[in-house]
Structure 1
Amino acid sequence: MENPFESPDGEYHALVNDEGQYSLWPTFVAVPDGWRIALDSKSREECITFINDTWTDMRPKSLVAAMDGS
């Protein structure tokens, strides 16, 4: 059985949570609580490119705020 997160021919969403963390997600699986769609129904490669271009700081937003003293 093929892993649905690794199918090169699958359709995916790029998800984001309130901490600014991103995830690749197959479109046929319900979006989990606490996550929202940042990029809708694209190829795996398009979603990975979007995530790599967008998520440049891997730290959660709450950690960034704590480190900045906010």
Structure 2
Amino acid sequence: MQTNPFENADTSYLVLVNDEGQRSLWPATIDVPAGWTVEFGPEARQHAVDHIEAAWQDMRPRSLVRAVEGEAA
């Protein structure tokens, strides 16, 4: 039986980030998709999750933050 590679505690993970500042937990054994870059890792799953929680405080995409800040100005 094949396990979900995104939930395997024995796999190394990357933290990916896109142009909108969104992060993704990504198995290091799978190619990084277009539009994403490696921000952290490879590292143990929990360390990668901890990095995401520390680095991604505002879940809104950058474009939305800019639009909202532009309206407030």
* Smaller-chain TM-score bracket: over 0.9
Partner of 1:4: 5
Q: How many residue pairs get matched?
A: 70
* CA-CA distance at 1:40 after TM superposition: 1.9
CA RMSD between the two structures = 1.0
Q: Percent identity?
A: 47
Which secondary structure does the structure 2 equivalent of 1:31 belong to?
Answer: coil
Following the alignment from structure 1 to structure 2, what is the Cα–Cα distance between the partners of residues 40 and 52? 14
Q: Give the partner amino acid of 2:31.
A: A
Partner of 1:68: 69
TM-score, normalization by structure 1: 0.97
- List aligned pairs for 1:24-43, cutoff 5 A: 24-43=25-44
Following the alignment from structure 1 to structure 2, what is the Cα–Cα distance between the partners of residues 10 and 27? 8
Following the alignment from structure 1 to structure 2, what is the Cα–Cα distance between the partners of residues 17 and 40? 15
Following the alignment from structure 2 to structure 1, what is the Cα–Cα distance between the partners of residues 44 and 15? 10
TM-score, normalization by structure 2: 0.93
Following the alignment from structure 2 to structure 1, what is the Cα–Cα distance between the partners of residues 48 and 20? 19
| Structure number with larger C-alpha Rg | 2
Following the alignment from structure 2 to structure 1, what is the Cα–Cα distance between the partners of residues 31 and 10? 19
* CA-CA distance at 1:67 after TM superposition: 0.2
Following the alignment from structure 1 to structure 2, what is the Cα–Cα distance between the partners of residues 40 and 46? 9
